[in-house]
Chain A
């Protein structure tokens, strides 16, 4: 009960501040739309598919997962600004739940990601993408789990390193190989076997496969539940770890 109350207090404050900042809204919406519009003409020939709809079935889920990963991983920068301003320390002297300090922030990140995802999906519908609403909601659940995990991870690391200068290279080092080896932007179907073997060890490639299956309408595919379970377990672990960091972070 206290956890719920505290989480919603932190969440409300974070949402309020987010919506107050028009720059974020511009970047957060404009950027994915540009992706969609600029990549669109390249898609059909590159993926060797016959229709726009088919191309978007592959590309849009990848784009959404990409946004979830990167959007989450870079949330730590905002937290470092809060650390510097003394806001975190001020919260930590109150009896507020440490888990709530994390969850309130991560839930804001999830909500803003889902808002982006909805806009992109709507736009892709204009480009002939077709997806069942039930499958779409499951795909959003997958995105929410990814974003919960990456943002919690980023917050935990931010609390550990406490400086932008250390966080930026660290997050880039994590994000680059994850991105390249997950088949996010293009599927790894045409990749050599050894590359696919490595990708199997990348949890995000499971998430992408699951999300693509959902967009294909292939609800029965094992990729779906495997992706969801892997992401749920990792998200829970990241949340538990980051909440511990909130409990014992120094300065």
Chain B
């Protein structure tokens, strides 16, 4: 459904007299299958939005090729526009308009007649449970309602592919859960959904397949579970009193280790072998121990092994 090869984009911005070039996207290859929820996971500044904006015809790539829903991005952007929907990271509604007005206009911009635009708007409002607020101005909506209007605007013309840029960023947990349901519903209706996110749990729970992006490049691709399986070994998490984290980190310096507020995480070959050694080392250093658990690597551990940084921190 989406295939890209070597997609590149750099920006030149002026800072005072100096010109600075940022290579936002440096050679992205993607293969997104029809009917899946595909996720782009990466920290802020990774180049997710820039990639999406290229695929949505909003900015021209510096290099590379892409085919989206059968249309060539470089040669026929107009056809790409007809086949895709795009929902920007920052939203797209106007304070003084109502959701219904926005939806009718958007459908008409895609070529629908007045009557069919109104019918489409009504059915989308129903689908997204927005009927109650449909004729109120957008500025009166809650964050979650407004985000649902954004998504509704992106799919009003029933595109084959829809790009959602950080659809749940800034939403409270309940609205997020609601949004996940909406996104799964789009997949059930046969749409291919391409989302970006910097939430690990979202990539893990919602996406069929993901690509992890960092610094303009894709560092890993696959299903969340296959990516996690790729990492050999186990993760041992040691829960500690807050003031003991530093002492524990130095006592366990021999291991590959990550420190957090009230715990450390150790990456080991075999957890069953490592745990007694860890306990002994902590005991010898006189570090009071809270809890200890052994688990399989998470997506954050995948990110850490590929980039040397934790996604939680960046």
| Number of interface residues, chain A, beta carbon within 8 A | 21
A6 adjacent to B91 (CB under 8 Å): no
A154 CB, min distance to chain B CBs, angstroms: 19
Q: What is the distance, in angstroms, from B115's C-beta to the closest C-beta of chain A?
A: 15
In A1-40, the 8 Å CB interface with B consists of 6, 9, 13, 16-17, 20-21
- Beta-carbon contact of A94 and B109 below 8 Å: yes
In the assembled complex, the CB of B155 is this many whole angstroms from the nearest CB of chain A, namely: 12
Judge whether B88 and A94 touch: CB under 8 Å: no
Alpha-carbon distance between A130 and B106 when the two chains are bound, in angstroms:
47
Tell me, in angstroms, the Cα distance from A20 to B138 when the chains sit together.
14
Q: Tell me, yes or no, whether A93 is within 8 Å of chain B by CB.
A: yes
Scan A72-116; emit 1 where CB is below 8 A from any B CB, else 0.
000000000010011101111111100000000000000000000
* A9 x B96 contact (CB < 8 A): no
Q: Which of A13, A17, A94, A248 has the most CB of B within 10 A?
A: A94
Does B75 touch A at the CB level, under 8 Å? Answer: no
Report if B105 contacts A (CB, 8 A). yes
Chain B residues with CB under 8 Å of A9's CB are 105, 108-109
The reply to whether the CB of B185 lies closer than 8 angstroms to some CB of chain A is no
Looking at the complex, which one of B58, B82, B94, B111 makes contact with A82 (CB distance below 8 Å)?
B94
B60 (CB) vs chain A CBs: closest residue: A248
Mark out the residues of chain B between 202 and 232 whose CB falls within 8 Å of any chain A CB in the assembled complex: none
Asked if B94 contacts A89 (CB within 8 A), the reply is: no
Q: How far is the CA of A44 from the CA of B14 in the complex (A)?
A: 53
**A48 to B104 alpha-carbon distance, docked (Å):** 58
* Contact between B153 and A90, CB atoms less than 8 A apart: yes
Interface residues in B76-121 by Cβ distance below 8 A to A read 78, 81-82, 84-86, 88, 90-97, 101, 105-106, 108-111
Whether A250 sits at the interface, judged by CB under 8 Å, is yes
**Inter-chain contacts of B96 with A (CB < 8 A):** 17, 20-21
* B82 CB contact (under 8 Å) in A86, A87, A89, A95: A95
Given contacts A13-B105, A94-B110, A96-B109, contact A89 B58 (CB under 8 A): yes
Verify B94–A17 contact, CB threshold 8 A: yes
Residues of A close to B247: CB separation below 8 A = none
| 17 additional contacts (CB under 8 A) given A6-B109, A17-B97 | A13-B105, A17-B96, A86-B90, A86-B91, A86-B92, A87-B92, A87-B94, A90-B88, A90-B106, A92-B58, A93-B56, A93-B81, A93-B86, A94-B81, A94-B106, A95-B78, A95-B82
Pairs A–B under 8 Å by Cβ, sample size 23: A9-B105, A9-B108, A9-B109, A21-B96, A85-B94, A86-B91, A87-B92, A87-B93, A90-B92, A90-B153, A92-B58, A93-B56, A93-B58, A93-B84, A94-B81, A94-B106, A94-B109, A94-B110, A95-B78, A95-B82, A95-B110, A96-B109, A250-B59
Q: Which 9 A-B pairs have the closest CB atoms?
A: A86-B92, A90-B92, A94-B109, A93-B86, A96-B109, A95-B81, A86-B88, A86-B91, A86-B90
